[in-house]
Amino acid sequence: MQARPVTPQKPLVDFVAVADLPTQYALAPFRAHAFRSRLDGSEHLALVSPGVAVGAPLVRMHSECLTGDALGSLRCDCGPQLQESLRRLAASAGGILVYLRGQEGRGIGLANKMRAYALQDGGLDTVEANHALGLPEDARDYAEAAQILQALGASAVRLLTNNPDKVAALQRHGIEISAVEPLVIPSNPFNASYLDTKARKFGHALPLSTPQKR
């Protein structure tokens, strides 16, 4: 698959390059498409699995998480979600992973995420910690992701997510969601509360590990 020029209506990203990316997840390489944000210079990557999708491709929008994706942090489910996404996309012809840079800590940045972690160690949940720092609970925007999908010819997708905000955001930006497929990772002792907060305060389709307080 070759990326198309980004839509001329208020383009937010520019297509930069494409190359093969062999991985442990597929026998044939993914095609890695690099895009650069016109807003802040962030460089995003879209991996397209081998083959051609029949109908709407399976898509995962994954926000950058250095601690989870690269360092194996157990405080979130990001690393295992990324790995499971790549496995499922590799098994689905023409599947797309949009890896969004600059969205660390739901958009608050790496250093602020560490500040929020320190407050969480004192008993706050992720939402309360962000508010205590004067930061939004979720600062992410998915307009650039929508334009990347459009550049790849994916105007309708099967979205791999538990997050209803991602579904609504893509729809607002002109992407048709033909189906939503869950991506549930088992909790561990370090992220059970984090996942419960996702379910209770963000509406993620996740099982609760602790009883709801009445």
Which residues does the annotation mark as catalytic? 138, 140
175 with 156: CB under 8 angstroms? yes
> Three-class SS string for 129-148?
HHHHCCCCCCCCCCHHHHHH
Beta bridge partners of residue 98, listed in sequence order: 46, 61
Output the CA torsion sign for 136, 64, 152, 55: negative
Residue 198: strand, helix, or coil: helix
52 with 93: CB under 8 angstroms? yes
> In terms of Cα–Cα distance, which of 34, 85, 81 is closest to 57?
85
> Which residues lie closer than 8 Å to 200 by C-beta, 6 or more apart?
208, 212
